Structure 1
Amino acid sequence: MVQPFDTQPGIQSVVSGYTGGHTVNPTYAEVASHTTGHTEAVKITFDPTVISYAELVDIYWRQTDPTDASGQFQDRGDSYRPVIFINSPTQRQAATASKEKLAASGQFDEPIVTSIEDAQPFYPAEDEHQDFYRKNPFRYQIEEMGGRQAFIAKNWQD
């Protein structure tokens, strides 16, 4: 989820990490064990005079399968569930309106199951998990071919 945001004008930082669980400062191994309650997420710092929160939500939709509550593509389990974490009532309103618009569009046969939840403490992932697409371009491409690229091509033709 880093690369699609990282390449946009107005993005100041994209940090991979974990949020929403009950373990303080979890490790990747702990989150991957599905015992911490955390979801893998990205924390995005952006300049709202260059890119709006609504635009970020639109980018998010185009990277996920919003109809799959059990994970994303080859990544399965609660730690990969589709969720938009919000930090304010304004963000909740924008995310909810965007979700409703997507649901009403008829673009997907299945219901949109992505949840919208209040942000919880965010714990940055270990260094080896930061900027994965840059550090491991070959592995990143293999993982992208695990279903994400085909799904995006099929469902997000502009």
Structure 2
Amino acid sequence: MSAEIKKATFAGGCFWCMVGPFEQLPGVLSVTSGYTGGETEHPTYEEVCSNNTGHVEAVQIEYDSEITTYDDLLRVFWKQIDPTDNGGQFHDRGSSYQTAIYYYDEEQKLAAEKSKEQLDQEGPFEAPVVTPVLPAKKFFRAEEHHQDYHKKNRFHYLLYRKGSGREAFIQEHWGDKQ
């Protein structure tokens, strides 16, 4: 039986904070930090952070769908973000830090919409879930120093994750249910 390798793309604010949680899933082959959603070809970090390119920081995941399902990826995604905030994520503000799910086919679109609706109805949030479900656009790999930042600069990454408010938010809303 041959593996079926698929792609998934999620924008969850700072891409540094999104890589590690997905890497922990069995069947995830790679998690790449990058930019998507905009029109500028080959944007740089500085251009994206200017909030003028239309891009968001995102991660693109390649996974073996016989081991990990798209629903598994969605569950991890929702527990890393504040899906009720459309102005950015935690300390990072602006359109380049907004959340989004980018789908590659109708099956992903339906699964994402269903999980969003379920989170809105049953999740731990009082405000409505505003994370959009959008068709995938061209994904641009971020500069090399942004790849695996959580491993290369672990101390700074952990300080940032805590200082940004992400860690406390996740603990408050999900606790041990991660």
Q: Determine the structure 1 residue equivalent to 2:33.
A: 16
- SS class of match (1:17): strand
Q: 1:130 is matched with which residue?
A: 147
Identity of aligned residues (%): 47
Which of 101, 104, 107 does residue 118 from structure 2 map onto?
101
Partner of 1:153: 171
Look up the equivalent residue of 1:82 and give its one-letter code.
Answer: T
After TM superposition, the structure 1 = structure 2 runs for residues 35-54 of structure 1, keeping only pairs within 5 Å, are: 35-54=52-71
Q: 2:130 is matched with which residue?
A: 113
In structure 1, what residue type is equivalent to 2:167?
Answer: Q
Query: What is the letter of the counterpart of residue 151 of structure 1?
Result: F
For 2:84, what is the secondary structure of its paired residue? coil
* Deviation of the 1:106 alpha carbon: 4.9
1:63 aligns with 2:80: yes
C-alpha displacement of 1:143: 1.1
Q: Number of residue pairs matched? A: 158
Encode CA deviations 1:38-94: one digit per residue, 9 max, x unaligned: 011000000011110011011000000000001111111101101011100000010
TM superposition score normalised by structure 2: 0.87
Question: Which SS does the other structure have where 1:112 is aligned?
Answer: coil
Indicate which of 15, 23, 32 corresponds to 1:6. Answer: 23
Report the AA paired with residue 87 of structure 1. Answer: Y
Runs of 4+ in structure 1 off by over 6 angstroms are: none
1:83 aligns with 2:118: no
Deviation at 1:32, TM superposition (A): 0.9
Q: In the alignment, what sits opposite 1:74?
A: 91
Q: Provide the rounded CA distance (Å) in 2 between the counterparts of 1:108 and 1:31.
A: 29
**Structure 1: unaligned runs, 5 residues or longer:** none
Q: Which amino acid aligns with 1:100?
A: E
CA distance in 2, matches of 1:8, 1:107: 23
Rounded to whole Å, the distance in 1 between the matches of 2:25 and 2:168 is 22
Matched AA of 1:23: T
Normalising by structure 1, report the TM-score.
0.98
CA distance in structure 1 between the aligned counterparts of 2:171 and 2:124, rounded to whole angstroms: 13
